[in-house]
Structure 1
Amino acid sequence: MKPIKTTLLWATLALAVGMPAIAAGDALPGRPQKPTTREPRRIVPEAVQPRSGDSSGGELTGQVVYQVLLAEVALQRGKNDFASEAYADLAVRTRDPAILERAIEVASYARRFDRVLELARLWVQIEPESKRAQKVLAGVMIMTNQLDGLAPELIRMLEADKESLPANLLALNRMLARSPDRQAVLQLVSKVCAPFLGLAEAHYAVAVAASSAGDQQRALGEARQALVLRPDWEAGALLEAQILGSKSPAEAIASLQRFVDRYPKAVDVQLNLARALVGEKRYAEAKRQFEHLLVAYPNNPDVVFPVAILALQENDQALAEAQLKHLVTLDLADKSAPYYYLGQIAEEHKASDEALAYYRQVGAGEHFLPAQLRSASILAHQGKLDEARAELRAAAEKSPSQRLQLTIAEAALLRDAKQTEAAFDLLEQALSQQAAQPDLLYESALLAERLGRLEVMETRLRKVIELQPENAQAYNALGYSYADRKLRLPESRQLIEKASQLAPKDPFILDSLGWVLYRQGDLEGALTHLQRAYAERPDPEIAAHLGEVLWTLGRKDEARSILREAQKKDPSHEVLMEAVKRFSP
């Protein structure tokens, strides 16, 4: 049996315990990786030979071959524990390194890590100079979280691979990410790095461990010491900023800015500085930073895309469109995002066909669903309802996981086309397959209300509340339906107040609360809530409610002003049109 060869120390160690290979240079520890479930490679009986100097001869070889065959057959039949036990017994009796390695592999596959550790220790005892044995033992100790006494082993392994020492130091924390005891990891990393503190990477590794253990003061000190040793090291600068950012984003930004001032060609730090400025909503500064980068790196997608998005945020559509069009000409693995935003820009310019062409180039991912919904909406507004529905159904075939949202969107198209019965029937069909799906219940309840099927509406909204007790919209919809019909007003108010507790800043819930107070005769209370709602969201229905309350209070000029202003924005809204007719001369 040949030992696994690799150029990286930690890749070998990782393979020894069924872990994925670790890439050098990783920063803070990532999520623990799941152990591999692949079946271990099978050993061939011919490869099992007596060790040099073994006097047992053919008899032992015959026993070995028989037991290996027995274990391999058991492994093939899924009897992993039996196979592991057979190999472990054989390894202890023969003390053969090849059999020990196979026994460790099978024990790992059988999830018998106690046995893996015992066999690895035996291997090191038999071959104390074997680097492979040392790596396997260290890997198993890490996997089983037995960190005490591991430092000498890791130091020896690091010293044995001087060429890869910096990269292996950077990978230490990723190796130890499985351990839940972050303080123990910090102690171990500190001991392991102690002989190598002349290297910036050693201080970096200690800084990462300290940050993960919650010792931010030490982490910051170690990160800064790494920068003393390597002043122009971008990874060190980013780590320092990350540690500072956990308490003060402003300090992190200042740290990055100082580094950029000293090393203006530090692209990664400049990018992170610009992103940090965006995170703090310092858009003008971020835009300037990206524009500097754009001059130096006009064909770097990591520069071009953020410039385009910032331009969109600042409503500079000409710059955004130019950069997005440039972006789709670059070597970019996934161009869905730029195509989606180009579609939005085209829509705003009333270039519907151009927008459709862009949306149809959006592939799988986070922009797929909104692109399909926008495409369908454009087609529906063009009077092509059947084509819009066909596109949504085709999208559902491409992305079954989004079928629910696409079905609800199709129902919305039918509702907006005044085909309420057809919309309700579509959701009914979906509910026949998913009777307890909250979104289908909610949307079909709203359609049932439009159709005057109040009992269906009430039953389904109460079912949603039962399934999702924290669903503010379900409480609000049921409470508002009562208030609007002047039914069960105390219960209506109770439902809406519950919704308000769950979502206190929702303007539509504020509108409902104002409306139920109006129905109960509390005009001043109603006015307060409706004014807040309208300030948050100048929606036509909220405007209609606010206008009616102002009119009832005798403030008729204000009522007319509110209604006229809302009508300019949405002249075809039914509730608003009715209010305008009633309260305008």
Structure 2
Amino acid sequence: MYSVIFHFLSLLLSISLLAGCAGITKLEPQQAEPNSPEQLQTKPARKAPTNPLAYYHFLLSQVNLREGRLEEAVEEIKRAIAYDREDPLLRVELATLYIHKGLLDEAVEECQAALVHDPDHLSAHLILGGIYTSLKKSRLAIDSYRRAIQINPRHRESYLFLSSLYADEREYDQAIRVLQQFLKIEPESPVGLYYLGRIYAETKSYEKAKEHFLKALAIEPNMVIVLLDLGVTYEILNEPEKALEVYQKALNLDPSNRRARQRLGQIFIKKKNWDKALDQFLELQRFDPQDLDIRTKIGLIYMDQGKLDQAILEFNFVLAANPKNDRVRYYLGAAYAEKEAFAQALSEFSKIPAESDLFSDSRRSIVLILRKQNRIEEAIRTMEESIQAKPKDVDLYLILAALFEKENQLEKALATLKRGLEHQQEDPDLHFQLGAIYDKLGQFDQMVTEMKEVLRLNPAHADALNYLGYSYADRGIHLQEALELIQKAMALKPNMGYITDSLGWVYFNLGDYERAVVELEKANQLTPDDPIITEHLADVYSKLNRIEKAIQLYEKAQTLDPKPDQVERLKKKIEELKGKK
């Protein structure tokens, strides 16, 4: 973002120079600070050639330029130079005309010729800086602006351009030094303070960025661009209320500012304040009814509000203008699915092509709908065709394997995952799911082998760490290793109920019931509707001889849709505890 602003400002510089001005366009994002005459030149600027004939052709060039006759203007300046080849003013003027024509190499030659005769010609150095920036010759541009500062240490724009170039090159320390040097000269410059804040933001020093944005606004409160960047900084610092206030002020100053309104809308979305978010995006749509991104956001807000028909209308509008927008087509399919208009949902998901990033997601959605309609064979056929179309897509094998698993066709799930591994031998997710299927088939050693392979490929795979650790704990084996594995998983995913349950369960099997009850209570709070976690918590209370509490939790587990084997286990445990009372 910073480089985009910088190159835009460079273009402004070039345009100013093309107009033949001695100075350069102000870089201020809002209102310009006045320049004093001595700031623009270190010595009086000569505005016309001294040779009378050169001056005559110089004037003819100016007339032609004003009347839009660029070629004639160039020819007249060349005639002027023929009468006085050593006049740097004429060379600089010709350079500006060449820039008008897009002849940047020729413009560079003329500026260099001007500097042969006057090495301290400020405008020549500034034009060179702008051209080199446009040509992405950053080191040469840096040299030009550094020389301009040597010639005129009070020339504001040279500091700003130079700092921007250093930032563009990721030389942030240099950029900061340049701006600090400038602020010693003009300590009350809101533009200098703003630029320094931007550099600090680039280096993720957000508190310093905020400090400098606020200083700039204390001097010039109505700089909209500073308000916007301050708002983003507040968002990053997790101060959304302050960001809202700043964006609202920016809109009061500039009601048509799209960026401020979009940021406001995004904050309201994060706060799940759908009505206020919708207000902002509808206002943006009023300014530009053809903006498809805005219509997409409006459609998504309608979906979150449950206004599915309105969401569908917005998505269809976008697709009418851009039928190849796969993301919006996916949103449309999701809206139809949520509305239970399954035929339309299947139609939209099916239109997403294999080369799309959303291909596997669309196929997962198709499978969910077909399973809901008990069209299992069609779901399997859809996935087989999808795999044929995109055989290296790991997700497709995972989706098909999960489908077989849900249908209790575990051998087919196993075969599917092995097919996937033929194409992606070192994919940790395929190995993880393969291990889980082996576990369901009662092949414990093969499960362990696969989970260890996952951890070889990705030592930070939290689910594999947890799965292996829990499996050891549940069998009462390798308990110290199980503890270490689960603690690593906890460090990676600290607030996951199922991992916290595993930690409590390993403590339980170690006989450390006091620690077990602490972790299992946490797990129960994180995932209160899980029958296994609830049963584990009941088990530890049973060991602590808190019989009533244990019975209460076992009975709760019975209401949480336990699997058949757990149903029998819970019934037996309740009967045994009641027999002890």
Q: TM-score, normalised by structure 2?
A: 0.63
Q: Give the whole-Å Cα distance in 2 for the aligned partners of 1:358 and 1:517.
A: 50
Residues 529-550 of structure 1 deviation map (CA, whole Å, 9 limit, x = unaligned):
3332232122343344345555
- SS across alignment from 2:442: coil
Q: Give the whole-Å Cα distance in 1 for the aligned partners of 2:457 and 2:526.
A: 30
Q: 1:355 aligns with which of 325, 340, 345?
A: 345
Say if 2:430 is the partner of 1:436.
no
Q: Give the whole-Å Cα distance in 1 for the aligned partners of 2:399 and 2:170.
A: 45
Q: 2:139 aligns with which of 131, 135, 144?
A: 144
Relative distance call for 1:375 and 1:548 in structure 2 (3 A) is farther
Q: Give the whole-Å Cα distance in 2 for the aligned partners of 1:206 and 1:523.
A: 57
Q: Give the whole-Å Cα distance in 2 for the aligned partners of 1:324 and 1:196.
A: 56
- SS across alignment from 2:317: coil
Q: Give the whole-Å Cα distance in 1 for the aligned partners of 2:284 and 2:129.
A: 48
Residues 342-385 of structure 1 deviation map (CA, whole Å, 9 limit, x = unaligned):
44444445443343234334566664432221212322343433
Say if 2:306 is the partner of 1:317.
yes
Q: 1:389 aligns with which of 380, 389, 398?
A: 380
Unaligned runs of 5+ in 1: 1-6, 15-23, 28-117, 157-165
Q: 1:482 aligns with which of 448, 472, 475?
A: 472
Superposition deviation, residue 584 in structure 1: 6.2
Say if 2:202 is the partner of 1:208.
no
Residues 64-92 of structure 1 deviation map (CA, whole Å, 9 limit, x = unaligned):
xxxxxxxxxxxxxxxxxxxxxxxxxxxxx
Q: Give the whole-Å Cα distance in 1 for the aligned partners of 2:564 and 2:159.
A: 68
Say if 2:397 is the partner of 1:404.
no
Query: What amino acid does structure 2 have at the position aligned with 1:147?
Result: I
Q: Give the whole-Å Cα distance in 1 for the aligned partners of 2:314 and 2:131.
A: 50
Say if 2:370 is the partner of 1:379.
yes
Q: Give the whole-Å Cα distance in 2 for the aligned partners of 1:134 and 1:349.
A: 59
Superposition deviation, residue 455 in structure 1: 1.8
Query: What amino acid does structure 2 have at the position aligned with 1:498?
Result: K
Relative distance call for 1:308 and 1:422 in structure 2 (3 A) is same
Which residue pairs with 1:271 in the alignment? 262
Say if 2:285 is the partner of 1:297.
yes
Residues 495-516 of structure 1 deviation map (CA, whole Å, 9 limit, x = unaligned):
3333334333221112222333
Q: Give the whole-Å Cα distance in 2 for the aligned partners of 1:293 and 1:527.
A: 49
Which residue pairs with 1:533 in the alignment? 523
- SS across alignment from 1:297: helix
Query: What amino acid does structure 1 have at the position aligned with 2:476?
Result: K
Superposition deviation, residue 566 in structure 1: 0.1
Query: What amino acid does structure 1 have at the position aligned with 2:198?
Result: V
Which residue pairs with 2:70 in the alignment? none
Which residue pairs with 1:450 in the alignment? 440
2:401·2:413 contact (CA, 8 Å) conserved in 1? yes
Which residue pairs with 1:79 in the alignment? none
Which residue pairs with 1:565 in the alignment? 559
Residues 297-333 of structure 1 deviation map (CA, whole Å, 9 limit, x = unaligned):
36454544444444555xx312x54134323314467
Q: Give the whole-Å Cα distance in 2 for the aligned partners of 1:509 and 1:520.
A: 17
Q: Give the whole-Å Cα distance in 2 for the aligned partners of 1:584 and 1:351.
A: 45
Q: Give the whole-Å Cα distance in 2 for the aligned partners of 1:334 and 1:378.
A: 23
Q: Give the whole-Å Cα distance in 2 for the aligned partners of 1:145 and 1:133.
A: 8
Which residue pairs with 1:508 in the alignment? 498
Residues 186-237 of structure 1 deviation map (CA, whole Å, 9 limit, x = unaligned):
5557899999999998886565346547553334434665x66xx4x75443
Q: 1:427 aligns with which of 387, 401, 417?
A: 417
Which residue pairs with 2:87 in the alignment? none
1:13·1:139 contact (CA, 8 Å) conserved in 2? no
Q: Give the whole-Å Cα distance in 2 for the aligned partners of 1:133 and 1:145.
A: 8
- SS across alignment from 2:494: coil
2:432·2:464 contact (CA, 8 Å) conserved in 1? yes
Superposition deviation, residue 452 in structure 1: 2.1
2:9·2:27 contact (CA, 8 Å) conserved in 1? no
Q: Give the whole-Å Cα distance in 2 for the aligned partners of 1:141 and 1:267.
A: 30
Relative distance call for 1:423 and 1:263 in structure 2 (3 A) is same
Residues 105-157 of structure 1 deviation map (CA, whole Å, 9 limit, x = unaligned):
xxxxxxxxxxxxx999977766987998675556789533883552455999x
Relative distance call for 1:503 and 1:323 in structure 2 (3 A) is closer
1:475·1:496 contact (CA, 8 Å) conserved in 2? yes
Which residue pairs with 1:254 in the alignment? 245
Relative distance call for 1:219 and 1:258 in structure 2 (3 A) is closer
Number of equivalences? 457
Query: What amino acid does structure 2 have at the position aligned with 1:500?
Result: M
Relative distance call for 1:413 and 1:574 in structure 2 (3 A) is farther
Superposition deviation, residue 287 in structure 1: 2.9
Q: Give the whole-Å Cα distance in 1 for the aligned partners of 2:336 and 2:424.
A: 37
Relative distance call for 1:375 and 1:501 in structure 2 (3 A) is same
Q: Give the whole-Å Cα distance in 1 for the aligned partners of 2:360 and 2:366.
A: 10
Say if 2:533 is the partner of 1:542.
yes
1:414·1:420 contact (CA, 8 Å) conserved in 2? yes
Query: What amino acid does structure 2 have at the position aligned with 1:513?
Result: L
Identity of aligned residues (%): 20
1:270·1:289 contact (CA, 8 Å) conserved in 2? no
1:13·1:136 contact (CA, 8 Å) conserved in 2? no
Question: Counterparts in 2 of 1:112-261, with a 5 A limit?
Answer: 143-144=138-139, 147=142, 150-151=145-146, 176-186=166-176, 208-209=198-199, 211-212=201-202, 216=209, 217-222=211-216, 231=222, 234-245=224-235, 247=237, 248-261=239-252
1:238·1:269 contact (CA, 8 Å) conserved in 2? yes
Which residue pairs with 2:81 in the alignment? none
Which residue pairs with 2:66 in the alignment? none
Which residue pairs with 2:463 in the alignment? 473
Superposition deviation, residue 257 in structure 1: 1.8
Relative distance call for 1:359 and 1:234 in structure 2 (3 A) is farther
Superposition deviation, residue 420 in structure 1: 0.8
More moved, 546-555 vs 478-487 = 546-555
Residues 45-104 of structure 1 deviation map (CA, whole Å, 9 limit, x = unaligned):
xxxxxxxxxxxxxxxxxxxxxxxxxxxxxxxxxxxxxxxxxxxxxxxxxxxxxxxxxxxx
Which residue pairs with 1:326 in the alignment? 314
2:370·2:379 contact (CA, 8 Å) conserved in 1? yes
Q: Give the whole-Å Cα distance in 2 for the aligned partners of 1:26 and 1:388.
A: 60
Say if 2:474 is the partner of 1:492.
no
- SS across alignment from 1:425: helix
Q: Give the whole-Å Cα distance in 2 for the aligned partners of 1:513 and 1:432.
A: 35
1:543·1:576 contact (CA, 8 Å) conserved in 2? no
- Measured on the aligned residues, the alpha-carbon RMSD in Å equals 4.8
Q: Give the whole-Å Cα distance in 2 for the aligned partners of 1:288 and 1:212.
A: 31
Q: Give the whole-Å Cα distance in 2 for the aligned partners of 1:302 and 1:502.
A: 36
1:514·1:525 contact (CA, 8 Å) conserved in 2? yes
1:223·1:240 contact (CA, 8 Å) conserved in 2? no
